[in-house]
Structure 1
Amino acid sequence: MPRFLKFSLWAGFAFLYAPIFVLIGYSFNASRRGSVWGGFSTHWYGELFRDEQILNAAWISLKIGVLSATGATILGLLGAVAMVRFGKFRGRTLFAGLMSAPLVMPEVITGISLLLLFISAEQLIGWPAGRGLLTITIAHITFCTAFVLVVLQPRMASMERSLEEASRDLGAGPVTTFFLVTLPVIAPAIVSGWLLAFILSFDDLVIASFTAGPGSTTLPMLIFSKIKIAVSPDINALATIIILVAALGLVAAMFFSRRQSD
């Protein structure tokens, strides 16, 4: 490899990962000031697990993430089936455009639109009553479905139709074929879509800020409120734990993928 390409490669890695390593290092800072090194200590990890506010926000984000990812995966799967298996139908172009709109729509616009929708629905039919976990979950399902569809549609389009045809020839109905043949084949894409939707929901700040209410503060909202003045060491410790969990998930995914390929 030419020296220039090597330099560009390592410069890119440094640009991406050097700030992360600095953050991890400062999570072991003994000082109360996150930007001033005061010696090595694990004190802030203990403080983090004793902070009820952070633990409650993390639990809320996990619940919303799981529910949103599950709902978005179901809707994205149905949308992929409609786009791939039903061919050309009336309104296909409009349907594809509506499903893809959240991909390019600014989150601020999406958040404001959903907030106005929830307020109008509450005034007209009384549901949803106020803003909280339900409204955040609905909002996250709305914009995560498009990302799941992007993952599932190519996988379904590239699937061998002969497998489904063989199942039908052996006497299986369309529903049985879908659950026993189609779903197992596209299962890796379904898992990938679910994980992508979960990460998007867990990481969201803008849309959740518009659709949240009292008692429904998510972890990104709490972190944003804490770092408005300065970054505290306990936030560095929280970020380090999140990075560790994400890294372990990536390693586990690579391990299972390698085992399947072998």
Structure 2
Amino acid sequence: MSVTYIVSGFAVGLLVGLTGVGGGSLMTPLLTLLFGVHPTVAVGTDLAFASATKVAGTFAHRYKGNVHWDIVRNLCIGALPAAVLTAIGLKYFGGFGDEIGQIIRYSIAGSVMLTVIALIFRRHIQSWVNARPERQLHGGKLTAATIISGSILGTLVTISSIGAGAIGATILVLLYPRLSPAEIAGTDIAYAVPLTAIAALGHWWLGSINWELLMALLLGSIPGITLGSLVSRAIPEKFLRVLLASVLTTVAVKLVY
């Protein structure tokens, strides 16, 4: 088991604990760029990593009453079939081919940039939506929009392993602006558990999970997340947001060029 992978897991876990941004935005590009892992294997391994680490977060948020299960259900109605169909598509088109690998690489870069936009503009988006209650969706339209959003996220997560964190949370802010930040986080994590599990199963079927790498990442990430969570309050949130947005933008550019 490579010490380098354990240290990488710790570093990503530390950043996740500090910022609250999903590990996929950091882990998948790290595996692809620094360690030369094939994009499909990087995505599959990170999905297995995410499905394992998000379970504990879901239990914690459920205990505190932060999960809206009706929203989780509607997101999953859209996300889970989309994840299955996307995995079948990857199998059909050859997930380990150079062309598919390049498409996945570009998908990762695009998802990273969406995460950057979500990081920078999430509060502005929430303020804009709250100031215009007449434009907020209700009833059947809100349910339909939630299911459609789930299907988009399910496809995005299965292709790139990115989307269930900052992007999913931003969509929830748009659709459900009255939820508290804790409820947004709890609901986002709760729906991500079955989504990442189904997507990871799809990649296991494709043979794109590196189990030794997965164990090393988990071994490093648990203390990293714990430490990051403990010291996060001591570091200004604006500084962390700008730093992370800068790092992710650089990563996205390197993935493309």
Q: 1 or 2 for the larger relative contact order (CA 8 Å, sep ≥6)?
A: 2
Normalising by structure 1, report the TM-score.
0.31
Normalising by structure 2, report the TM-score.
0.31
